[in-house]
Amino acid sequence: MKKPLNEISNSAFYARFNGWFETSSAIGLHLSNKRNISSVSKNLRFLQRGLTGNRGLIASSYMDEWSILQPYLLYYWPISFYEVSAILYELKTRAVLPDINSVLDLGSGPGPASFAAQTFGAMRASLVDKSKRALAMASAIAAKGRRKNLNLEIIEYCASIEDFCAPKGESYDLIIAANSLNELWADSPDGILRRRDLVLRFLPNLQPEGILIIVEPSAHYTSIPLLELRDSLLAADLNGFSLACLGPCPHSFACPMLDQVKKPCFSEWQWNLPPSVRELADCAGLDRDSLKASWVALKKQKNRGKDKEALQDNKIGSFDSADLRGRIVSEPMLNKAGRVRYIVCTNRGLRVTISAPRNDPTAENLGFFGLGRGDLIAANGLEIRGESHFGIAPGSQLEVLMRAPRI
């Protein structure tokens, strides 16, 4: 029997989620005529092209312009807010989310990531951004939220991420960089190494049980560099410590999506768009029916030395059993033979496929055709159909360990 979806909207966080979204939207609407949706959507299209089209706005101080900050508050702010909320909710469901009190938000803009963290317990957030207006807007959202008993202390640091140094003795339960690192050294041949060194610079400020989260858009040109950054960070030796991956990956091995032909890897969450976001998206001609983001969550651990090397060696090779445990990293795909197939990233760091004939009764009873991107599964009794290919067969068992959150 299939387990129900993880629905954030049915959790105790519902009021806080809505409260912060409504607060941000109200401030965004106040910046100009509420009814002038045409003007806002025009500015939104300009912002969208500058960030994901020609990328002419990246690494610039675009949030200092009210004409840009307003559509950001009304459109991209809730997208980032709900994406980070879904990530934190997934980590909480997987029992790897620590208690969060303090946050360091790198490249924060008006703070959507920090406000998402508040719904999971954060009381204080240090926001780092080079836009004074964006930081002031975050403080305004926090001030207005207090009238609704939504409490988050905002500490503003107007600086670029590269130039910022955390105050001596300050430590954080969560360090997050949401949609910001991809803008640094984007065209530099050593851009990944420079991002890695930047991230490592902040690790001394991470609490022993704290976590580091990096979030990027799901596009090829942002997702693949994030996977490369992930591998570079996991390979770093930090004087007796190293980093372990808490999510979304079910392992801390090198990313199998980078083998041979590099492929992006991202999460997708079903999202019931708020009416105001839907209206703005439709008017701007933007396709928005779900949330998509590439992300990685890391924590510090003691080095495992030879054990770590042995684990890395153990991932190499073919499966010697018909058991499978991992994460769905694709949509369902129908091949020419009439089989529905998913790509799975396994807990051994391998990329494999699992499939079943369309309308197969065994697969139907197991809930196989209801699987989705981001679901964690465990299966056994599978048919081995070739190297790294498995099939549902009579007697197979399938358990959904976690479904991707639905907002």
Please indicate, yes or no, whether residues 383 and 245 belong to a single structural domain of this protein. Answer: no
Domain of 64, CATH number, reads 3.40.50.150
Residue 312 lies in a domain: no
Residue 270 lies in a domain: yes
Residue 32 lies in a domain: yes
pLDDT of residue 68: 87
Angstrom distance (rounded) from CA 152 to CA 348: 40
Please indicate, yes or no, whether residues 118 and 181 belong to a single structural domain of this protein. Answer: yes
Residue 1 lies in a domain: no
Residue 311 lies in a domain: no
Residue 227 lies in a domain: yes
The pairing of strands 397-402 and 376-380 is antiparallel
Domain of 329, CATH number, reads 2.40.50.1010
- Report the DSSP beta bridge partners of residue 334: 340
Q: What is the pTM of this model?
A: 0.92
- 1 falls in which pLDDT band (50, 70, 90)? very low
Please indicate, yes or no, whether residues 107 and 193 belong to a single structural domain of this protein. Answer: yes
Angstrom distance (rounded) from CA 49 to CA 116: 26
User: How far is residue 59 from each of residues 71, 302, 393, measured CA to CA in Å?
Assistant: 18, 35, 52
- State the residue range of the domain holding 398: 317-402
Q: What is the mean pLDDT of the chain?
A: 88
Count of domains in the chain? 2
Q: What is the mean pLDDT of residues 255-274?
A: 90
Please indicate, yes or no, whether residues 156 and 18 belong to a single structural domain of this protein. Answer: yes
- 304 falls in which pLDDT band (50, 70, 90)? low
pLDDT of residue 321: 58
Please indicate, yes or no, whether residues 201 and 296 belong to a single structural domain of this protein. Answer: yes
Domain limit, last residue, from 276, 306, 336: 306
Q: Please write the tens of the pLDDT for every residue from 52-74.
A: 776 777 766 788 888 888 899 99
Please indicate, yes or no, whether residues 34 and 94 belong to a single structural domain of this protein. Answer: yes
Q: Please write the tens of the pLDDT for every residue from 104-161.
A: 999 999 999 999 999 999 999 999 999 999 999 999 999 999 988 899 999 999 999 9
Please indicate, yes or no, whether residues 28 and 91 belong to a single structural domain of this protein. Answer: yes
Please indicate, yes or no, whether residues 321 and 231 belong to a single structural domain of this protein. Answer: no
Domain limit, last residue, from 257, 287, 306: 306
Domain limit, last residue, from 239, 271, 306: 306
Please indicate, yes or no, whether residues 266 and 298 belong to a single structural domain of this protein. Answer: yes
Are the C-beta atoms of residues 346 and 251 closer than 8 Å to each other? Answer: yes
User: How far is residue 100 from each of residues 114, 122, 206, 219, 245, measured CA to CA in Å?
Assistant: 11, 5, 12, 29, 18
Please indicate, yes or no, whether residues 148 and 167 belong to a single structural domain of this protein. Answer: yes
Q: Please write the tens of the pLDDT for every residue from 4-31.
A: 456 565 455 667 778 888 888 888 877 6
- 373 falls in which pLDDT band (50, 70, 90)? very high
Residue 151 lies in a domain: yes
What are the φ/ψ torsions at residue 124 (nearest 5 degrees)?
-140, 135
Please indicate, yes or no, whether residues 202 and 287 belong to a single structural domain of this protein. Answer: yes
What are the φ/ψ torsions at residue 149 (nearest 5 degrees)?
60, 30
Please indicate, yes or no, whether residues 279 and 373 belong to a single structural domain of this protein. Answer: no
Residue 5 lies in a domain: no
